[in-house]
């Protein structure tokens, strides 16, 4: 089975690698980022109706301050984020799919108006009327410097547009490259640039979608090699 290269930060990289192994894939983890907690002052919990988490890292690195909001409904994007919130002591955790817009609609439908969004330093601002969203940065994903030397795995998983842009910097010359990029979204695929042997986009923006596409790519490579 062809090796797949996982570039996301830990502990997510190891989680993806474990899932890949269960599927019979051969993962290699080389994180391009390291995640660190950012000191933040927790506002008054009484000012909010709920908390929104769009990353498992926010749940893990929110620190003891997150416990002050454990009594509020916690809206989490994806089951991985929901599981991290529960592990952090949150009780009323409501998991949506891996789409932020869908989660925001769920929050509105449940009657919440004042939302505390715990997120990373690099995030995309999202809005949804009539929500009042207060964002607090609780972690930062910093570039690994100097950039690591990437092994010649034929398949590369990309979990974010920022990771795709970094990959394009690390491998600037791609005219003769034989690697296939599996991107979590169209935005991530765009950031990866041109010149790859192929770019495939996950059917769903999560680990399951990425690994399913990786398995398809591996099978296609094997079939081609046996012809």
Domain boundaries, the chain: 3-32+144-225, 36-140
Average pLDDT, the chain: 90
Which pTM value belongs to this model? 0.85
Q: Name residue, tokens 């990786």.
A: 214
Q: Report pLDDT for 1.
A: 59
What's the pLDDT tens digit per position in 192-224?
998 898 999 999 888 999 999 999 998 888 777
The pLDDT, as a whole number, for residue 101 is 86
Give yes or no on whether 3-32+144-225 and 36-140 have one common fold: yes
Q: Residue 27 is inside which H or E element, if any?
A: strand 26-29
Token pair of 217 as six digits: 């790519």
Q: What is the pLDDT of residue 183?
A: 97
Q: Which fold has domain 3-32+144-225?
A: Rossmann fold (3.40.50)
Tally of CB atoms within 10 A around 110: 12
Tokens of 136: 């607090």
Query: The domain 36-140: what is its CATH number?
Result: 3.40.50.10090
**Do 167 and 12 meet the contact criterion of CB atoms below 8 Å apart?**
no
């Amino acid at each position: 089975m062809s090796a797949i290269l996982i570039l996301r930060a830990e502990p997510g990289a190891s989680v993806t690698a474990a899932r890949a192994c269960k599927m019979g894939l051969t993962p290699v983890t080389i994180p391009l980022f390291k995640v660190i907690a950012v000191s933040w002052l927790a506002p008054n919990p009484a000012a909010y109706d709920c908390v929104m988490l769009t990353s498992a890292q926010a749940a893990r690195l929110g620190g003891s301050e997150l416990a002050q909001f454990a009594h509020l409904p916690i809206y989490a994007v994806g089951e991985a984020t929901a599981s991290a919130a529960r592990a952090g002591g949150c009780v009323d955790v409501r998991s949506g799919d891996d789409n932020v817009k869908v989660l925001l609609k769920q929050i509105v439908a449940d009657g919440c108006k004042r939302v505390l969004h715990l997120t990373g330093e690099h995030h995309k601002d999202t809005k949804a009327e009539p929500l009042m969203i207060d964002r607090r940065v609780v972690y930062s994903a910093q570039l690994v410097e100097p950039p690591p030397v990437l092994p010649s795995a034929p398949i590369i998983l990309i979990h974010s547009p920022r990771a795709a842009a970094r990959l394009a910097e690390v491998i600037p010359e791609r005219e003769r490259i034989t690697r296939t990029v599996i991107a979590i979204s169209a935005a991530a695929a765009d950031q990866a640039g041109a010149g790859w042997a192929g770019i495939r986009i996950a059917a769903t923006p999560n680990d399951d979608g990425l690994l399913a596409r990786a398995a398809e790519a591996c099978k296609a490579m094997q079939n081609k090699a046996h012809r």
